């Protein structure tokens, strides 16, 4: 399987993706735990059906020390006992933000308030940024039909 368009060699899309990559790199300088960021990226990628990003974020999370057990349970986080209350709030916000049209009014006040119980304002901002960036990457990669399975941790620096 081959992608419809190479996002790294196409000059137009390459510039756009560079900005997304730069935005994503800023998240490393926040106090939002990197493990939470990877759980969020993985869950949004699963929802959006982005095989490339699901593969990438699973492998990056394992490489960073996350357990396969927790990663396998991300899609069933509501029933899983392996996540903290803060992680559950982040995953709930991720789901409502990713499926924004499924509920009239978008993200509910209850979901936002639950996240705000666990994260300070800067961490909430980072969470919003993380969800926004991964959804943009997911949509681009799904449109391009980026193949999944060959990603190596740290491949993109």
pLDDT at 154: 81
CATH class of the region 18-144: mainly alpha
Tokens for 147, please give them.
């193949």
What is the CB neighbour count within 10 angstroms for residue 87?
20
What is the CB neighbour count within 10 angstroms for residue 46?
20
Distance separating alpha carbons of residues 82 and 18, to the nearest angstrom: 35
The gap from C-alpha 15 to its chain's centroid, in whole angstroms, comes to 21
Indicate the pTM of the whole model.
Answer: 0.94
Query: Read out DSSP for 24-78?
Result: HHHGGGSSS-HHHHHHHHHHHHHHHT-HHHHHHHHHHHHHTT--HHHHHTGGGTT
Per the model's pLDDT, the better-predicted residue between 101 and 5 turns out to be 5
Q: Phi, psi (5° rounding) for residue 149? A: 120, -25
Tokens for 119, please give them.
């994260």
pLDDT at 152: 93
- Write out pLDDT tens, residues 44-60: 999 999 999 999 999 99
CA angle 12, 128, 101 (to 5 degrees): 85
135 exposure class (CB count in 10 Å sphere: 0-12, 13-18, 19+): buried
- Write out pLDDT tens, residues 59-105: 999 999 999 999 999 999 999 999 999 999 999 999 999 998 887 78
Tokens for 58, please give them.
């699973």
Contact 126, 27 (CB under 8 A): yes
Q: How far is CA 13 from CA 19, 143, 157, in A?
A: 10, 12, 19
User: At residue 137, does pLDDT exceed 80?
Assistant: yes
């Amino acid at each position: 399987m081959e992608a419809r368009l190479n996002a790294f060699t196409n000059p137009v899309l390459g510039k756009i993706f560079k900005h997304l990559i730069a935005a994503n790199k800023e998240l490393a300088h926040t106090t939002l735990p990197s493990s939470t960021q990877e759980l969020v990226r993985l869950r949004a990628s699963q929802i959006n059906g982005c095989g490339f990003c699901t593969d990438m974020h699973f492998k990056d999370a394992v490489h960073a020390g996350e357990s396969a057990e927790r990663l396998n349970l991300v899609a069933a986080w509501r029933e899983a006992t392996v996540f903290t209350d803060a992680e559950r709030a982040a995953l709930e916000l991720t789901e409502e933000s990713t499926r924004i049209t499924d509920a009239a009014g978008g993200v509910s006040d209850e979901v936002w308030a639950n996240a705000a119980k666990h994260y300070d304002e800067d961490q909430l901002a980072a969470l919003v940024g993380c969800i926004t960036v991964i959804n943009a990457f997911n949509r681009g990669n799904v449109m391009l039909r980026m193949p999944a399975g060959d990603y190596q941790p740290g491949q993109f620096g």
